Amino acid sequence: MLKDKIEELKKEKDVVILAHNYEIPEVQDIADFVGDSLGLARQAAKTPHKTILFCGVHFMAETAAIISPEKKVLIPDTNAGCSLSDSINLEQLKKWKSEHPNAIAVGYVNTTAEIKSELDYCCTSSNAVNVVKAIPDDKEILFLPDMFLGSYVAKMTGRKNMLIWAGECHVHAGITPDHVKEKLNSLANAEFLIHPECSCTTPMMYDVANGSYSSNQVQILSTEGMMNHVKNSKSNEFVVATETGILYRMKKQNPDKKFIPASEKAECEYMKMITLEKVYNSLLNETNVVTVPKETADKARLAIERMLAIS
């Protein structure tokens, strides 16, 4: 069986397999660690293995290569990209920075290594609020590339001097307030877990603050935040507004609880590109090595290390 062959190769070649929460179930099952981008970056930083096989999208594998330059990083499919990462390029960022020479650039981890090399701070959805809070109040901030996460952070920190890039993740942007309201109305006892990249986040935060959802609990959380929340919650029913791949891990770890996607269509085709066959081939042939030029990596590492230091 392919699964057994992967296990053998992994041991033989001293490989650790990291998989994102949105990967297909059989890929999650063969991984040594499953988590969000921050959790996986931390695993990449501390793993003793000489090779990292990254089951996720390309920017995540690049992050691992930047953090662990002495290790070999493989990705099973080099075409596993990211619509959010594609929403800003190096020229656009340099121009934006030149228009605001004293600003601090804060970029989401969902960006290319080139973009990261131009940032002061990197962040993930789980620590974006804390990263922005760590920057002096009088400093102007350029936040990129996710406009929904940016709006959420600005609201949570009360920051008035934060400029936000107009990028989005096509999957999360597709989860609308209508999707959530429809489920809210039909599931009175469910808790709602919403990823801050969703287009429903910004309007819903105001509604939450106004007490519009008094009968439902609404939490805005990163994917790992969602995992921790459902484990500790006394609720038995959850509506989950993020990519549907996370439901597999939720059900596996909480078999007695019920999980409903806010939108059944919230699937990332890039995350689903990685299959067991591709994992096996990448391990066997050590193909699709992800490398980042040293100069770019050295500059990007500083922003990532700042992210890892702020939990």
The pLDDT tens digits of the residues spanning 225-281 come to 999 999 999 999 999 999 999 999 999 999 999 999 999 999 999 999 999 999 999
Is the residue at 246 inside a domain? yes
Residue recorded with tokens 């969602």: 226
Q: Is 110 annotated as a binding residue?
A: yes
Considering the domain boundaries, does residue 277 fall inside one? yes
CATH number reported for the structural domain that contains residue 279 in this entry? 3.40.50.10800
pLDDT 10s digits, 86-123: 999 999 999 999 999 999 999 998 899 999 999 999 99
Does the annotation flag 212 for ligand binding?
A: no
Neighbours of 25 (CB within 10 A): 12
Per the structure block, which two tokens stand in for 71? Answer: 């290790």
Which two structure tokens, joined as six digits, stand for 81? Answer: 């990209």
With bands split at pLDDT 50, 70 and 90, how would you rate the model's confidence at 299? very high
Residues 254 and 275 in one domain: no
Average pLDDT over residues 140-158: 93
305 assigned to some structural domain: no
268 is in an annotated binding site: yes
Same domain, 186 and 110: no
Q: Between these two residues, 51 and 209, which has the higher pLDDT value?
A: 51
How high is the pLDDT of residue 199? 78
Q: State residue 211's pLDDT score.
A: 58
Using a pLDDT cut of 90, give the percent of the chain over it. Answer: 73
Question: Is residue 135 assigned to a domain?
Answer: yes
Q: Is 229 marked within a binding site?
A: no
| Residue 125 annotated as binding site | yes
The annotation status of 82 as a binding-site residue, yes or no, is yes
Residue 304 domain-assigned (yes or no): no
- Whether 257 and 175 map to the same domain: the answer is yes
**One domain for residues 76 and 90:** no
The domain containing residue 73 runs over which residues?
A: 2-80+271-294
pLDDT at 212: 62
Kindly state whether residues 122 and 183 are assigned to the same domain: no
Q: What is the pLDDT of residue 204?
A: 65
What's the pLDDT at 100? 98
Q: Is residue 300 part of a domain?
A: no
Is residue 179 scored above 90 in pLDDT?
A: no
Instruction: Give residue 267's pLDDT.
Output: 94
Whether 266 is covered by a domain: the verdict is: no
How far, in Å, CA of 120 to CA of 143, rounded?
11
The predicted-structure confidence for 25-50, as pLDDT tens digits, reads as follows 999 999 999 998 878 988 999 999 99
Q: What is the pLDDT of residue 13?
A: 95
Q: Is 195 annotated as a binding residue?
A: yes
37 in a labelled binding site = yes
Tell me, yes or no, whether 98 and 55 share the same domain. Answer: no
109 is in an annotated binding site: yes
How far from the centroid of its chain's Cα atoms is residue 95's Cα? 26
- State the pLDDT confidence band at 311, using cuts at 50, 70 and 90: low
| Residue whose entry in the numeric block shows the structure tokens 């439902």 | 216
Whether residue 103 sits in one domain with residue 72:
no
Q: What is the pLDDT of residue 112?
A: 94
* Total count of domains within the chain: 3
Residues 69 and 114 in one domain: no
What is the helix (H) or strand (E) element at residue 112, kind and residue range?
none
Counting Cα atoms < 13 Å in the Cβ hemisphere of 88 gives 31
Separation CA 31–CA 245 (nearest Å):
14
169 known ligand binder: yes
Alpha carbon separation from 147 to 76, 153, 161, 178, 197 (Å, rounded): 30, 10, 15, 19, 8
pLDDT one-digit tens code per residue, 186-217: 887 889 898 888 877 666 655 665 556 655 68
Nearest-10 crossing angle of helices 58-67, 294-309 = 90
Q: Is the pLDDT of residue 137 over 90?
A: yes
299 part of a folded domain: no
Tell me, yes or no, whether 221 and 243 share the same domain: yes
Averaged pLDDT for residues 159-178: 91
In contact, 123 and 306? CB cutoff 8 Å: no
Distance from the Cα of residue 163 to its chain's centroid = 21
Q: Confidence band (pLDDT; 50, 70, 90) for 309?
A: confident
199 marked among binding-site residues? no
Q: Amino acid identity, residue 22?
A: Y
Q: What angle do CA 213, 215, 217 make, to 5 degrees?
A: 70
Residue 69: cis peptide before it, omega within 30 degrees of 0 = no
Q: What HEC string does 24-48 produce?
A: CHHHHHHCCEEECHHHHHHHHHHCC
